[in-house]
Structure formats: structure tokens, C-alpha cells
A and B are shown apart, each in its own frame.
Chain A
Amino acid sequence: MRLLTHNMLQCHVKSCNDPALNFPLQFQEVELEQIEAEENEALLLNLVGKIDWPALVQTTSELGITGLPPTKPDVVKNDPALMKRLHEILLETNVAQGKMVCRGCGHSYPIKDGIPNMLLAEHEI
């Protein structure tokens, strides 16, 4: 699973609705892998407008990935090095194995061969 996708997801256990806790999910015991992605400047700029920057910064630092400014820069477009790094992080950095754990309710969503299982249990729906 790519880090972009991680930024798009939150814990969706029914009773877990504190936005300060149900997002971002915390990666644990992960195995990372780089998979090339098509470069598309327009999309990347578009995504920068949509993603939750603080969540991305928190997640990357938990994973030991560096190269992102702590606050979202006003203009990303004119910074080719940052654009390149963002592309590598959002679109090319994959979690092959591991889990995503909710900081609110503790639900652990397993990731196997890059595919997260986000089905809820009976008491969570």
C-alpha cells in the first residue's frame, strides 16, 4: 500500500469517531518497498492540496523517512527537489507487510502483500 493511500484512510470502527485519534493510523512492524509510479506533476500538485500534511509528516517520521518540511510550504511547484521527494514518498513508498493501528480504539488493520484488510469485526459495525 502506498503512503498516499494511507493518507486517504481513517479508522472506521463505529464508535471510534474522535478525529484527533482515528487518523492517521499508526504503522507497526512494517516492511517497506519502493515501487515506481508514473510521474505526473499536475496530479502531484493536486494531491498536495488534498492530503493531510501534518499526518504525512507524522507518519513519515514514524517510519524514519526524511525530506519533508514540517509545515506545508506555500508553493511546492517551484521546488523541484521537494516535488521529487513528494513523488517518491506519496506514490512510490509502499508498505508491503505490517499493520496499521488506530490510536483511538486500538484496532489493528493487517497489511499482507501490500493489501490492507480493513474489514471490521462484528462489535465494530
Chain B
Amino acid sequence: MPRYLVHFAQFHEDFRLAELEALAQLENIPLKYEPDAYSNDNPFLLVELPSNEDARRLVQRAILVKEICEYWGSGDSYDSLFAHLKTTPERWDDFKTCSFKFLVKAFGGTRTIKEQIKIINTFSFLAFEGPIDLKNPDEVFIVYEDYGNDPILQKALTNPNEIHFGRLIAYSNRDVVQTYNLKKREYLGNTSMDAELSLVMANQALARPGTITYDPFVGTGSFLLTCAHFGAFTMGSDIDGRQIRGARGETDGIKTNIKQYGLDKLILDTLVFDISRNPWRQNNSGGTSTRGGPWFDAIVTDPPYGVRAGAKRLGRKTGLNPELSFVEVEGTVNHLRSDYYPPTVPYEMSEVLTDLLEFAARHLVVGGRLVYWLPTVVDEYSSDDVPLHPCLELKANSEQNFGSWSRRLITMEKSRDWENLTGATIAAAQVSDETAKSTPPVQLGHYNFREKYFSKFDSNSGSSTPNEAVIPAEPTS
């Protein structure tokens, strides 16, 4: 099979391979590579793909890839690269007469324009006769110099450790990050997720035309936008209607962003409710039901962790007191007042996760994906901290590190019908059913994350904690 060189962005490294794998699955392309050939320290990966067309499709949505090339060869010096290239001279023939240009890209090093031209001239043995066209060439050839990722070593290097050469097949979709840049977005909250990661999440979720993506903690709607960008219909809900509407009246809220990006044909609805008490009709297939199948093809979300980030659910600390619904306040029965807001209690992180996984297991179609953020304390993290569910298979776990804490993007795929499960199987899982709720689960690394965070790592600035949002006490819808 033909070989291609994937050139990744050297950024969000831990997410790159997961994204590439997700896109291969989405496009149904057999992607092959040596697992050892990939390293977070290096932006290059040699892969095997059936065709140029597949290579183009593989990266057309990619955010963390820069471009993909038809691979022509490598070497630890220019001489060894040239020797490698000269083993396949028949390859050159197809490009004898087309217009072309060369690019020199140095990873971990720099080359002046003058040096670049010098390098390009050493490729004259390829004997391309076509015109050089810097603006609109038929073909682009790229020389990749790799000086390695060690800043101390790099300085000493005058020559790259390795050089790769290839013919450009396609640029990725990385430019779209600018389109969704938060700086240009009209409605923002302090929980809005940056554009790049929001787009990566849409890729992890396989968001695509003809499917429905749902965000149960929708906030200001970052993922509604990026998933709809890739053609998916999207919906979201939040316990706090002000997040959805914004505070500035008519020209605020998620609807403003929907207009700004022209996504009103795809973003279907936003609703206000507590996801732990949600009104979605469970719509399982099988049985005698005439209604077939769960609603959602993907769930993409950044759950609230910690009270200050708005993690709460309906309830009352001192125990529910239903009578309080009916007392008269200013002449009206309490719960019928237009500004009635039910009491809430803190929503512990382990409960948030239990509910989220169980919700996904019930409401995703088989093959549908759950993509969500999980904060962890770096020193205490072990892979057991990632909650499991018998219906959900872990597909990817990518870390974004902030020093003492991290957040991890978890991707799970529903592998079996929820209805086919027996109670016993569910109870056996780490997190899932009522039993797990009443008896506290194993002390996961994320359990009481916030308390740990504040007791151990409080930097007295209080900034840059996970999804920090200061929500005033009494939201209204």
C-alpha cells in the first residue's frame, strides 16, 4: 500500500493520534502505521493508505494535522535522502512538466530564505522541467527537516537529525480554528471552550450530516457550533437558562452565535432542565415497542465540576420539603410564581459522571459516541480513574496538562444495546446503577477533585481551575 507522511501540528500532542483514528473511522478508511512510529515529541507519522483520495479524505476535517504528503523518502542527511529518492526515479516522470513549488519546513530549527533556496536547488537532480509557480502550482513538494524536540540539543545542531521528502496531497482543516476563534465570537461566557479543542471534540464525536449531537451541559453552546459546523444537527440543555439566553436581552445568548455562524438550519433547540432529572423520552429499540431506537448519535460535553462552576442538581440539603412548593409568596403559590427557582444541592463529581455515563448508555444509538472532559489530579491519576460502563467502550483518553492538574478528553463508544443488559451486569460496573449511587464508588482520582484541588494546589490566585464559572446563587430560566 502507498505510504503517506502525516505532518501534525506540534500542539495538543496527546490528542493528535486519537483525532486521526477517529477520522479514519468516520471516513471508513483503513489506516495503518507502526504504533512505535508515533511519538508526542515529533510531528511526523508515516502511514499506509489505499490511495491519494483516501489521504485527502482522512485529513479534510483534521484540526491537529497540518498536511499530508505522498511519501517519497527520508534520510539522516541530504546525501542519504537523495540516495533514497534515486531508488524510485520512475516516480519523478509524472511531474516532469507540471508547474510546481518547493517548501522547506524545519521542525525544532529555522532556515533563512537563502538557506531554503540553497536546499531547494540541491533537488535539481529530480529534473522537473515545468515552471515554478509560487502562487498556484500544480504540485507542492515539501522538505521536512527534523531537529528534534529538545531545545538545548537543537541549538547545537546545524544539521537536522532527519529529513523527509514528499509531495503534498492535501492541507487539513486547521484554518477553520480561526473561524470559531473565541475572540471573534459574539456571545461568550467564562465556560466557553476554545475553538480548537471544540472542533477536535466534534471530530472525536464523528459529528456528521444526518446525525444528532446533544450537549447536556450546554452553557454558552461551544459544541453546538462546532458539531453543526461539520453538518450534524445539534441540541443542548442546561440547568441554568441564563447561560443559554445570556444577560443582555435580545441580542445575546446562544441564538446570537447561531446567527453569527449561520448555523440556524442545524442547531435545533436548547432547553432548560437538570440532566439528573431529565424529560427525554427513553426510546429503546427491541421489545414490543413500536418506537425504535435512542435519539442521539453523539453526546459532546464539558460537565460542571465543582459548585463554583455551577455543578448543582435539584434537591434540598436538609431533605426535600415539598410543602414549601405551596406556601404563598406575595399572594401566589410559590412554585407557580414566574420567578420560582427550585432549590438545588451541590452535584458531586462522581454523581455527575455516573449520571452522564448512564445517560449515554441509554440515549445513544449503538455506535454513538460520548465525548467529555474529565479533570484529574496529575500525581494521583491512574487509568482506573476513568469511569467505565458495560455499554460503553473506551476509545480515546487524551491529556491536556496544566501542571498539577490535567483535563482529559474521554471518548467512549456505545457498543451494545442498553435494554439487553441484565441488572447484574450493570451492578458489576464501576459506575452505573442505583447501587453505585447509594454506596460510594471506589475513591476515584477525580472523586472530590475540587476539594483536592483547593486543599493541595490552591495557588491563592484561584484562577485557571477547571471550567471556572462564577454562577450567582439564584439563576432563573
Q: Chain A interface (Cβ within 8 Å of chain B)?
A: 1-2, 4-5, 7-12, 23, 35-38, 40, 42-43, 46, 49-52, 91, 110, 112-125
Inside 8 A of A112's CB, which chain B residues have their CB?
A: 477
Q: What's the minimum C-beta distance from B336 to chain A, rounded to whole angstroms?
A: 9
Let me know if B293 is at the binding interface, CB within 8 A. yes
Inside 8 A of B279's CB, which chain A residues have their CB?
A: 9-12, 118
Let me know if B241 is at the binding interface, CB within 8 A. yes
Let me know if B356 is at the binding interface, CB within 8 A. no
In the complex formed, the residue of B with least CB distance to A14 is B277
Inter-chain contact B291/A50, CB cutoff 8 Å: yes
In the complex formed, the residue of B with least CB distance to A11 is B279
* B340-351 interface code vs A (CB 8 A; 1 in, 0 out): 111100000000
Those of B264-300 within 8 Å (CB) of chain A: 264-266, 268-274, 277-281, 283, 291-293, 295
Question: Known contacts being A12-B278, A122-B320, is A115 close to B314, with CB within 8 Å?
Answer: no
Q: What's the Cα separation between A1 and B273 when bound, in Å?
A: 14
Inside 8 A of B269's CB, which chain A residues have their CB?
A: 1-2, 5, 114-115
Q: What's the Cα separation between A124 and B334 when bound, in Å?
A: 13
Inter-chain contact A38/B211, CB cutoff 8 Å: no
Inter-chain contact A23/B271, CB cutoff 8 Å: no
Inter-chain contact A12/B277, CB cutoff 8 Å: yes
Let me know if B326 is at the binding interface, CB within 8 A. yes
State which of B211, B212, B277, B280 has its C-beta within 8 Å of the C-beta of A120.
B277
In the complex formed, the residue of A with least CB distance to B324 is A122
Inter-chain contact B477/A117, CB cutoff 8 Å: yes
Q: What's the Cα separation between A53 and B264 when bound, in Å?
A: 26
State which of B210, B291, B314 has its C-beta within 8 Å of the C-beta of A125.
B314
Inside 8 A of A2's CB, which chain B residues have their CB?
A: 268-269
In the complex formed, the residue of B with least CB distance to A72 is B290
Inside 8 A of A118's CB, which chain B residues have their CB?
A: 271-273, 278-279
Inter-chain contact B340/A37, CB cutoff 8 Å: no
Inside 8 A of B210's CB, which chain A residues have their CB?
A: 40, 42-43, 46
Let me know if B57 is at the binding interface, CB within 8 A. no
Inter-chain contact A36/B274, CB cutoff 8 Å: no
Those of B227-244 within 8 Å (CB) of chain A: 231, 233, 235, 239, 241, 244
Inside 8 A of A51's CB, which chain B residues have their CB?
A: 291
State which of A11, A35, A91, A119 has its C-beta within 8 Å of the C-beta of B272.
A119
In the complex formed, the residue of B with least CB distance to A94 is B269
Inside 8 A of A7's CB, which chain B residues have their CB?
A: 281
Residue among A36, A52, A113, A118 with the most chain B CB within 10 A? Answer: A118
Inter-chain contact A49/B293, CB cutoff 8 Å: yes
Q: What's the Cα separation between A114 and B283 when bound, in Å?
A: 24
Inside 8 A of B320's CB, which chain A residues have their CB?
A: 122-123, 125
Q: What's the Cα separation between A79 and B421 when bound, in Å?
A: 38
Q: What's the Cα separation between A91 and B341 when bound, in Å?
A: 31
In the complex formed, the residue of B with least CB distance to A35 is B264
Q: What's the Cα separation between A35 and B267 when bound, in Å?
A: 11
Inter-chain contact A36/B265, CB cutoff 8 Å: yes
Inside 8 A of A12's CB, which chain B residues have their CB?
A: 277-279
Inside 8 A of A115's CB, which chain B residues have their CB?
A: 241, 244-245, 269-272, 477
Inside 8 A of A35's CB, which chain B residues have their CB?
A: 264
Can you list the 3 inter-chain pairs with the closest CB atoms, starting with the nearest?
Answer: A123-B322, A121-B335, A118-B273
Q: What's the minimum C-beta distance from A74 to chain B, rounded to whole angstroms?
A: 13
Let me know if B316 is at the binding interface, CB within 8 A. yes
Residue among B209, B231, B233, B274 with the most chain A CB within 10 A? Answer: B233
Q: What's the Cα separation between A42 and B210 when bound, in Å?
A: 6
Inter-chain contact B477/A50, CB cutoff 8 Å: no
